Amino acid sequence: MPDYTWLTWTGWAVGSLGGAALVAWLIGRSARGWRHCSKCTYDMTGTPGLRCPECGKTAKSERGLVRRQRSRLMLRLSIVLLLGGVVLRSVEPYRRDGWAGPVPMAVLSRIAPLFDEDGRRLLQSNVGSNWLLFGAIDPQLRAAFFASAAGTPPPPPTRWERVLLARQVMLAAERFSNAGESGPATSDIDLVRRIPSLLTDQERVILTGAFGALVISSDEEFQRLGLEHLQRYAARTNYRIDEIARVARTSPAATLRRLAYETVSTVGTEGSVVVAVLRAGLDDQASFVRADCARCLRDWAKHARPALDQLNRLAKDDWDQQVRSAAEQAADAILTVR
């Protein structure tokens, strides 16, 4: 297939020229000290009154005769160039993903709830079943499997189909919180485990709400999925930080507690709140959790002075060398911050 990537770069170049032309039109030509007609630009210097002798337009005041002159031709040129840039940049996304390719992800995610029925039918189709079956497999392993089986891999989903799948993952994650003692349905578990691997980073952002709901799940695996997603796609948003902190303090799995503390450090925006949570992690039973909390406090050194005594105690008395080293480095970082 021909490569039309050059059209994308051409579109950006044409759009940039259009933006420059629009700025030039907005600035206009200075008319300081020059009386002229705002309609036909006739020079009215020395002409008494407010009426233009050329076109007959009458200005409302003297100020209307000396305002900046803006070229209508420049405005038309900027509009043509901007629209041309949009069209050229849309060629490659349209060829790759159809009509949904050029549409911003924010727009697609807004209209996706209107097509939930289409998403359900998509999952029930043969193609949807293939995506569920092979979605979580590494692409290279998937290709090797089909090569050895002398078969053909299922066609990749289009952009709109991926958005519909992401919407179904969101609905499945919402059902997790309403699941009874029997737990979530197997189909919902498969959706949450497999479908996100088919999505691009831009498309996974719309799953933030769904994976945020998984943080309060009773299943450690799904809590881990939710924390990993928030750590990557919800940085500095303060999203569900209270629930994440609760997992960090109460989870029986040390690796999950460490991930939760790291996620608090990544997602948090208020230094005092983040430091308060990380200080609790300095007293964790697992040494690697204490070490990671000390490293995170080093990143929040500007707000971490209340944790200085704890860090000094760990640097002096902790039995684990990694904890002592991380605590010492964090304490030094705090002392060097003004």
Q: What is the CATH number of the domain that holds 308?
A: 1.25.10.10
Domain boundary among 99, 132, 165: 99
Count of structural domains, the chain: 3
Query: Cβ(278)–Cβ(307) under 8 Å?
Result: yes
What are the backbone angles phi and psi of residue 61, rounded to the nearest 5°? -155, 170
245-274 mean pLDDT: 93
Q: Quick check: 96 pLDDT over 70?
A: yes
Let me know whether 137 and 225 are in one domain. yes
Let me know whether 18 and 51 are in one domain. yes
What pTM, to 2 d.p., does this model score? 0.68
What are the backbone angles phi and psi of residue 303, rounded to the nearest 5°? -110, 0
User: How many C-beta atoms surround the C-beta of residue 121 within 10 A?
Assistant: 12
Residue 264: band (very low, low, confident or very high) from pLDDT cuts 50, 70, 90: very high
What are the backbone angles phi and psi of residue 39, rounded to the nearest 5°? -95, -50
Q: Quick check: 19 pLDDT over 60?
A: yes
Let me know whether 209 and 310 are in one domain. no
pLDDT at residue 289 in the model: 95
Domain boundary among 99, 115, 139: 99
Residue 269: band (very low, low, confident or very high) from pLDDT cuts 50, 70, 90: very high
Q: Of 48-57, 296-305, 313-322, where does mean pLDDT reach its minimum?
A: 48-57
Let me know whether 141 and 166 are in one domain. yes
The C-alpha angle 186, 191, 195, rounded to 5 degrees, equals 155
pLDDT at residue 169 in the model: 84
Q: Which amino acid, one-letter code, is at 321? A: Q
The H or E element containing residue 79 is helix 72-97
Q: Quick check: 326 pLDDT over 60?
A: yes
Side-chain-side CA neighbours of residue 14 (13 Å): 19
pLDDT at residue 303 in the model: 93
What is the rounded CA–CA span in Å between residue 223 and residue 228?
9
Q: Which domain holds residue 317?
A: 235-338
Residue 301: band (very low, low, confident or very high) from pLDDT cuts 50, 70, 90: very high
Q: From residue 252, how far is each of 237, 255, 258, 274, 281 by CA, in Å?
A: 26, 9, 11, 21, 13
pLDDT tens digit string along 115-165?
Answer: 989 888 887 776 666 666 655 455 555 555 555 554 565 666 788 888 888
pLDDT at residue 183 in the model: 66
pLDDT at residue 287 in the model: 94
pLDDT at residue 7 in the model: 85
Domain boundary among 99, 132, 147: 99
Q: Which amino acid, one-letter code, is at 205? A: V
288-317 mean pLDDT: 93
Let me know whether 230 and 246 are in one domain. no
Let me know whether 78 and 144 are in one domain. no
What is the rounded CA–CA span in Å between residue 57 and residue 40?
9
Let me know whether 207 and 248 are in one domain. no
